[in-house]
């Protein structure tokens, strides 16, 4: 239910019918903050579309030899798909804020909630893939064959399933958010990510690591993914904690909105690593 706008707001919302964080957008400063984030998020969208285009070109040129994409590349494609849907969710929410249309805000809210688990899961799967490559190379080489493709597809299906679980639960709990389920998923991801990252660092961090270019590149790759994933989980945890509150949250809106910015590095790290592996970021004279 929409309440009459005041002179200092775009809109005010009845938080008994909508999430309490909708009240953040009754303040013009918070609206501008959110619009800045949405614009930044949309500026990254062409990068994700370019990754799709490269993946399509590779698929078209190697169809007779299926399976030539590495597992990391496939996880990157799926992550870009989730990021693209999330961008449209933020765009829909922004349009709803600007026009005082709660239907658009609710649609964006549901779309963002739907894609959030998958975005985090595909980063975690990349950590697992790097863990196997460094700590268990024999198993990793076996998984690069057809059996590994089946395992990879099952993992992707699990990530998508988690998103559909959230998609089903969010309307059931609306206007509240199913934070218990969400943080349960996060807890599992955090434990998995911590184990894989620490195991990789223990193997790679040796006195002669810098002399071994393979180990040095692997170290930087897993470090970049780990840092981006930690920032995403931290930002989402802060935002979800505010969203879980059942009272007005004007004093916490800055924390809620700042949590989104912590997710931006993870939106960039896998696509940039993909481009680096494919020689698109190499400076040539």
Q: What is the pTM of this model?
A: 0.82
The reply to whether 283 falls in a domain is: no
pLDDT in tens, 205-234: 877 666 767 777 778 888 888 888 888 888
The reply to whether 224 falls in a domain is: yes
The reply to whether 278 falls in a domain is: no
Lowest mean pLDDT among 10-14, 173-177, 245-249, 266-270: 245-249
The reply to whether 281 falls in a domain is: no
pLDDT of residue 64: 44
The reply to whether 129 falls in a domain is: yes
Give mean pLDDT, residues 74-82.
Answer: 89
N-to-C CA span, the chain: 60
Side-chain-facing half-sphere of 71: CA atoms under 13 Å:
29
Q: Tokens 């309307």 belong to which residue?
A: 171
The reply to whether 9 falls in a domain is: yes
How far apart CA 1 and CA 102 sit, in angstroms, is 8
The domain of 67 spans 2-273
How far apart CA 249 and CA 262 sit, in angstroms, is 20
The reply to whether 285 falls in a domain is: no
Cβ-contact 126, 225 below 8 angstroms: yes
Lowest mean pLDDT among 7-21, 105-119, 181-195: 7-21
Quick one: pLDDT band at residue 40, thresholds 50, 70, 90? very high
* CATH number for position 263: 1.20.1070.10
* Residues with Cβ within 8 Å of residue 206, at least 6 apart in sequence: 215
pLDDT in tens, 173-185: 887 788 788 888 8
Give mean pLDDT, residues 68-85.
Answer: 85
By the 10 Å C-beta count (0-12 exposed, 13-18 middle, 19+ buried), 225 is classed as: buried
Overall domain count for the chain = 1
Cβ-contact 267, 236 below 8 angstroms: no
The reply to whether 222 falls in a domain is: yes
């Amino acid at each position: 239910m929409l309440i009459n706008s005041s002179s200092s707001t775009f809109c005010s919302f009845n938080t008994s019918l909508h999430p309490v964080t909708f009240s953040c957008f009754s303040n013009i400063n918070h609206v501008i903050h959110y619009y800045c984030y949405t614009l930044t998020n949309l500026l990254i969208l062409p990068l994700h579309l370019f990754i799709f285009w490269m993946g399509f070109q590779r698929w078209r040129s190697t169809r007779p030899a299926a399976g030539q994409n590495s597992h990391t590349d496939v996880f990157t494609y799926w992550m870009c798909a989730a990021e693209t849907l999330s961008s449209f969710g933020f765009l829909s929410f922004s349009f709803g804020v600007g026009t005082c249309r709660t239907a658009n805000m609710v649609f964006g809210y549901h779309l963002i909630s739907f894609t959030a688990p998958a975005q985090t899961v595909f980063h975690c799967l990349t950590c697992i893939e790097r863990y196997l490559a460094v700590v268990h190379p024999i198993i990793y080489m076996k998984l690069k064959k057809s059996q590994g493709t089946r395992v990879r597809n099952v993992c992707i299906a699990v990530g998508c399933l988690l998103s559909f679980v959230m998609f089903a639960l969010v309307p059931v709990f609306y206007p509240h958010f199913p934070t218990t389920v969400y943080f349960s998923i996060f807890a599992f991801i955090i434990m998995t990510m911590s184990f894989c990252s620490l195991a990789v660092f223990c193997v790679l961090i040796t006195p002669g690591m810098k002399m071994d270019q393979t180990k040095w590149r692997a170290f930087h790759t897993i470090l970049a993914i780990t840092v981006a994933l930690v920032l995403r989980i931290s930002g989402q945890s802060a935002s979800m904690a505010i969203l879980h509150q059942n009272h007005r949250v004007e004093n916490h809106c800055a924390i809620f909105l700042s949590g989104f910015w912590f997710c931006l590095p993870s939106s960039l790290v896998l696509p940039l690593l993909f481009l680096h592996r494919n020689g698109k970021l190499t400076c040539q004279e």
